[in-house]
Every structure is written in C-alpha cells, then in structure tokens.
Structure 1
Amino acid sequence: MATPKFILELRAKIGHDLLWLTGLTAVVLDDHDQVLLVQRADNGRWSLVAGILEPGEQPAAALLREIYEETGVEASVERLVNVESFPPAMYPNGDQVQFLDLCFRCRPIAGEARVNDDESLDVRWWPLDKLPDLREEELRFIERALSPDVTPYYVT
C-alpha cells in the first residue's frame, strides 16, 4: 500500500511513535446483492475498499476518491454506517498507528470494477451469500450497511 506523503513527513519527525489516523471504509452495494471488494497487493486478502483521510479532505469526498482510485468505480455515498476506533497496531517496520474509522454505505453510479492502481491484485463484485474470508469487523460493517436501521453505530 502506498503511504501518503503527509504520513511520511510526519514519520520523519516522530519516528515510529503512535500516530492517530482517520481511516475510511466503503461498503459499496449494487442492485444485485453484491458488494465491491479488492484483493490487497500487500497481503493478498480480500477486503472492503478503504483508505486514509488526508489533510484538508472531507471524509465522504475522500472515500469516493479512494473507491475510484482503487476500483475504477464511481460511487455516491448513501449514509454513514459506523464510527469506531480500533486498538493500536504496529506495522512490520515498527510504525505504530491507531485508527478512527468512518464506514459509509455507498452505491455505484458508473464505471466497471477493475484493478485501477498498484494497491490491488484483483477487484470484483461478490454476492453477499458467497463472500470470501473477510476480517470480522468488515463482516460487521456489511451487516450494519444492510440493516434497515440507518442510525450509525458507535461505541458509547
């Protein structure tokens, strides 16, 4: 995964210390009960489209940018699904991070799903009843995006 320039600049100043970042996740659902997934180049796992909010960006606009950059699909945001912070984590190089993740339900409006950058090995629509092995939180995000309750989930 390409590390955004602003993170590289911060790392030059703070080294491997904990860095608080805003992550963005998209549950892109089409009209055929399918979800858009990417197979990540860094670990080979299938996942929801995700990215990092960069300075000066609005979350929804940044997520739409990430969806297009990674998949070639133009989308629209329907609603906020989830706001949650995850435990601190460490990358193999020693960089420590903690993410506040904003997950949105999105709808495709144009484009054909394809590998559109070097961050993915494959991009495709998956039927909801035949999903590949996904992380537990991604399955929760999909479940919440499909819920008729439109109130965003958050921990109190």
Structure 2
Amino acid sequence: MTGAAPFAHLSADARAELDAWVAPDDQQEALRVGYLAHLAAHPDGVAKAGPPAHLTASCLVVDPPRERVLLTLHAKAGQWYQLGGHLEADDATLAAAAAREAREESGLATLTLQPGIVQLDRHELVGSFGRCREHLDVRYVAVAPEGVEHVVSDESLDLAWWPIDALPPESEHELRPLVTAALRHLG
C-alpha cells in the first residue's frame, strides 16, 4: 500500500481526538485548528513519508510521586526532550503511537498512559532530519511503575530522570509548558 491509505485510520483518529479536545488557552486552540486544517489539506499528514510537515506523537513519562520526568538526550537534536516520534501504519491510534514510542525509547515495558491530549507543539526541525521539516506534535502523559529501570535505545544518546523543578537548562523553555500541562492533566 502506498500514500495515505495505510495511515487512513490514524488520520481519522487524529481528527477525532483533535475535534474532541478542549484546548486550555487561545494558543493551544490555534494549534488545534491548524492541525485540523493541515490534516484536511493532507490526507497523508500523519505519515513520515507524507508532507515535510506531519503529525508526530510524544509522551512525557513521570514517576508515581510526580516529582521527576524521564527524558531522552535526542540523538539528532542533541538536547533533552520527552519521548516520542513518528507514527507507524500499524499503530491503532495516536495515543497508542505515543505509548509505543515511549516504550521503545525507554525500554519500559509497562507504562500507564493517561487518556487525552495534554499539549500540542508545532516546531521546525533544524539539522539532520532528512525530509522532515516540521513536526506537529501531539503530546500525552504516562506514569511509569515505581522503581522501574530504563534502557537507552538506539534513538537516544542517553536517558535520565530529571527533577520537575530542575529540568535541563538548554531545553527547559520547551519542556516547562509540557510538564505544567501534564501535571495539570494528571490532577
């Protein structure tokens, strides 16, 4: 199968999730509307092989006491970020893609993914990202089991638990809004 067909279910799921999501502020609402317009214009807008700007799914992993977050030192970007990446045709949903990416990149077999979108983030890519030029990231949050050991994957230079009140300085400006949204989402 070629083109948008293998990803049609993910495109439909993304539209349904974004349609149902109540954005917490005007900036997030503008992104939500923009993502929906992008998907309407690009049936393959959830596929890495689709347009250079496409949806991705990521997951902020938190520890049970909600004091630390598990971050990856991204191999291509060279900065600490949440776990996540491109959708695959066999992902059942956008949320399932975020959970799969988190499990693959962390080595954590079990995560408790919380239902619902936490945050949207549209960002341009600089560096060696191939044909990818912009990610329209849909972000979720998951809680890791107590005392679980993570494993660095081939996609990361490193993985580490970071205190919520001491995020990596070089990426805090990007991570802080996500951490705040995730904690709010967790209640």
State whether TM-score is above 0.5.
yes
Whether the aligned pair in 2 keeps the contact of 1:90 and 1:96 (CA below 8 Å) is no
Change in Cα spacing, 1:98 to 1:42, as seen in structure 2 (3 Å) is: closer
Question: How far apart, in 1, do the equivalents of 2:78 and 2:120 lie?
Answer: 26
| 1:138 maps to 2:175 | yes
For 1:107-134, what per-residue CA distance to the aligned partner results, in whole angstroms no more than 9, with x for missing partners? 113741120x211121121111121121
Task: Give the residue type in structure 2 aligned to 1:113.
Answer: H
State how far apart, in whole Å, the 1-side matches of 2:130 and 2:89 are.
Answer: 23
Structure 2 counterparts to residues 1-156 of structure 1, below 5 A: 7=48, 10=49, 18-32=51-65, 33-57=67-91, 58-73=93-108, 74-79=110-115, 80-84=117-121, 86=122, 88-89=124-125, 91-92=127-128, 95=131, 97-109=133-145, 111-115=148-152, 117-133=153-169, 134=171, 136-147=173-184
Counterpart code for 1:119: E
**Offset, 1:43:** 3.6
Give the Cα–Cα distance (whole angstroms) in 1 for the partners of residues 145 and 89 of structure 2.
27
TM-score by length of 1: 0.71
Q: Which amino acid aligns with 2:112?
A: S
Which of structures 1 and 2 has the larger relative contact order (alpha carbons within 8 angstroms, sep 6+)?
A: 1
Report how far residue 64 of structure 1 moved: 1.4
State the partner residue of 2:43.
none
* Equivalent pair of 1:70/1:120 in contact (CA under 8 Å): yes
Shift, 1:143, TM fit:
0.9
The letter of the residue matching 2:87 is L
> How many Å apart are 1:91 and its aligned residue?
4.5
2:114 partner SS: strand
Structure 2 gap segments, 5+ residues each: 1-46
Q: Does the 8 A contact of 1:114 with 1:124 survive in 2?
A: no
Structure with more of its chain in helix, by fraction: 2
Identity over aligned pairs, percent:
29
**Higher normalized strand content (fraction of residues):** 1
Contact 2:76 2:128 (8 Å CA) reproduced: no
3-state DSSP of counterpart to 1:109:
coil
Unaligned 5+ residue runs, structure 1?
A: 1-5, 12-17, 151-156
Is 1:22–1:52's contact at 8 Å kept on the other side of the alignment?
Answer: yes
Distance 1:28 1:93 in 2: 24
Change in 2 beyond 3 A, CA 1:107/1:147: same
- In structure 2, what residue type is equivalent to 1:131? L
Does structure 1 conserve the Cα–Cα contact (< 8 Å) formed by 2:57 and 2:98? yes
- What's the CA shift for 1:55? 2.7
